[in-house]
Structures are given as C-alpha cells and as structure tokens.
Structure 1
Amino acid sequence: MTQTTTAGQDWQAWQDSWDRQQEWYMPDREERFRVMLDMVEALVGPEPVVLDLACGTGSITDRVLRRFPGARSTGVDLDPVLMTIARGHFAGDDRVEFVTADLTDPRWTDALPHRSYDAVLTATALHWLDTEPLRALYGHVAGVLREGGAFLNADHMVDESAPRINAAAQAFHTARKERERSGGALDWAAWWSEAADDPGLREPARLRFERLGDPRNPAAAKTPTDRPTSARWHADTLRAQGFAEARQAWCSPSDALMVGLR
C-alpha cells in the first residue's frame, strides 16, 4: 500500500495523528474496534464487503483490512480534509474505494459502487445528526445491507438512569484529559489548526471550513438540537427501520456499540 504521495506527503503520520487525537477523547477506542470486528467475523465471516459510513480518515477500514486481508471496503464521507487523508493513506490498495456523499441526502446510496454490503460500520460520527435524520439514515442503511448483514455503530450513548455514576465517570475522564493535554495531547480544535497549516491539506481545509464549519472554533459548531442519547432508542429505532434484531454489544460509561442484524 502506498501511503506517501510523489509530493512527499506523509499520510501515515496524519492517520496516526488523527488516531491519537481521537484517543484523547476515547482512551478505549481500540477496544470498541476490537469488539466491532469480533462481531463482524461472528455475523458475516472473515472476508466481508464493508461500507465504512462517515469514514473520516479511514480508521475503521484500516483495522478491517489488517484483520481481514480478504475484505473490501467502501468509505463514505463529506469532509474534504479527512477524505484527502483517507485517499492518500489507501492509495494503490484496490480493496478500497471512496465516495464523497452527504448522508442526509436521501439519494446518497446511489453513489455506492456495490448494490449491497455484508456489513456497515461506523464509529463516533452519527451523533452529529438530529433524531429524524438519524432515523431516516438507519432506514437507508437497512436498504444497502444484504439479508443477514450487520450494522455496527459505536457512538456516544449514555444510560441516563444513573446520574451520580455518570457525573463521577465524567469528572474522572475530564481530569485524565487535562493531564494528557498538559503533556502535549491535541484536542479537536488543535488538530484542525495543524491540518489547516499543512501545505498538502490547506486547500481541502479551506473547503471544509467553508462548507461544514471551522472546527478551530468549537463554539461555532452546529450542535444537534434533538439528539438521541440512549442505547435503547438506537435498538428500538433499528428494529423499526427494518432490522430483525438489534442489541448493545459493548459499552463504556459514555459510549456503546449497537449491532443491528438484517
């Protein structure tokens, strides 16, 4: 796999940088990926055709191909910076294709290269959607999965029935992040500042800020006004949108992995 362009861009370094930034928020990130891929193998086998939904830099695709060398993956995203990194990182790997699409567009599935997939995977992405767009998206996902295919979504889902436990976990998590920030860890805004300063990402960053907002100013970011937060909502909605079964397969104090089976 070629990971450096002829211009000398080090896409592996950007992939690693993205992973470290995400791990600052989610120190158990690799554990959720491990459970996700365990469930993929258990449900659809070791050579899946995967749709990496809201793929970002291709973190899930990278782990899928390392574990399942015979797999194929289609990455879908709208962010010009993250897609530039993903395309650079996987350049020359014919197991991987990328599609630029807006998941809130009802016709986004028309751009996909395959009519159906064994598994649709996503992580820490769909919480940006309000309830109704997310409900509709779950229906579209059901439509691109083969019978018996699996959808796995690892994202922010909190059990709101235990507020004191949640508050204690959040305080512990915040203290850890502050310690790591003092040691040089990059947060969301700082990572985007570095991306905007990189000559190879400067133009994609300009387009990203123009179309989707500037992450260097988190206060200006669009925040969903009606965002579902419970694992139960996700399971109930998946069943209502065409999945035969849905359940939680992993959780942390703040996140969960939902599995839906067609």
Structure 2
Amino acid sequence: MKFKREELRDFLDAKVELYNNPKFIESDPIQVPHIFSKKEDIEIIGYLTATIAWGNRKSIITNANKMAELLDYSPFEFVMKHQNSDLQKLEGFVHRTFNDQDFKQFIKSLYHIYKNHGGLESVFEKYATKDSLQLSIHKFKAHFFEINHLARTQKHVSDPLKNSAAKRINMFLRWMIRNDNNGVDFGLWSRIKPSQLSCPLDVHSGNVARKLGLLKRKQNDAKALAELDKNLRKLDPIDPVKYDFALFGLGVFEAF
C-alpha cells in the first residue's frame, strides 16, 4: 500500500484519534496501573505489567492484577518496606516464563533502583540522549542487576544494545512519558520528552508498518526499531510514538 507522506500522516492521525482514548484501556494491560493514583505505585505496577506483556492479552491483564493483589495494592510501600519473609507470598506466581523467583528478584532490584538510584524516572532520565532512550534502557538493565541476582531473571529485561527491539520497556516508557490528556498514557515523567521515545515494536505493529512502507527490515529487532523511529519522526517529530496506537489498532483490531 503506497501513500504520499501527507496522505499517510492523515490516515494514521485518524487512526490515532480512533484508538487513543479511554475506551482503549478496557482491553489493554495499561488498565492495571490505572487502578493507582500515586506516582511510584503507577511506575512500579506499570513496569511489572509491561514486563509480563506478551502472549494472550486477557491472561496478561489477569496476571498483572494478581501482581497488584500480591503487593497489597501498595506496590511502592511493598517494595520499600518488604522483609525477605514478605516475599514468600509471591510463591506460585507464574506468567509464561516469568515465575515467582523472577518476581522476587524484581522486587529486590526495584528496591535497589529506588534506594540507590533515585527511582525509575531518574535512571532513564540520566542516560537519555537527545532523541533516544535506548542507551537508558541498556544502563537501566545494568543497574537493575548490579545487586546479587538470579542469572535466569536477566532475560526478562531487554537490552537494545544487544539488538533487541525492547518492545515491553518501550511500551512502559510510552505509558510514563506521553502526556496528551487523552486519558490513556500517564505523562508522569516530565523530565523526559515524548520526542525521545521509541515505538513498541512487535509482530502486529511491525507487519502494519511494513505494509505502509514505514519499515523495510524483516526482523523486529533494534535495527528495525531505529528505521521505524526515523520514519515516524518524519510524520511527527514532537510525538512520534502516538502512532503506536494507529499501528497497534490496525494490526490487532482491524487485521489490516
């Protein structure tokens, strides 16, 4: 399907308008952080939810709600005040390959990030470059696992510098940073700009992007993400990742 750039922008802007509204939340994992109002609670449950956001969307939402329940609906307080004995209640949790051992490790690593690195926003802001957060994701992973940790858990945090598209962390960052008052993304992190975000690239958005001529590369990896980002920035340099709603909606809801 070939569009001129103006036509493509108009087509995608209309799809953004269609999907970027509170109705989107009803079937999306972002509904789980929307239960909370405190910044740190939203960040922590948002990060945990994004981490398990692969596979069946219904089971992602069910298991993310289960995580919130296991953390007593006070994720920040649980992370900061937990004793080792409190982690026993997480036993038995599983979402695909993310299990209770990983969950316990994430709680310890999140404590470390808030106690020693000023919190999630600070880490991502510290290493942000002018138009990218991919170095931030790499550095975040390094800090997340600089404490004693299980080797198996490392696979649950992607690294763009190892050619991963890091879809789930990019989605989490979209949730935290985009602020368009449409009621979906939170816009909690004011020190990082939406123009620095990368599109969460997965099978659906990748296939749609290829059909629209926004992406030529076949694999959904870091190189493909760089290509897609470049083309989305041509359509909107200030808020390129709003087009995630269009690509995702066309792929999942319209089987484009």
**If the length of structure 2 is used for normalisation, what is the TM-score?**
0.27
**If the length of structure 1 is used for normalisation, what is the TM-score?**
0.26
Tell me which protein shows more helix as a share of its residues: 2
Tell me which protein shows more strand as a share of its residues: 1
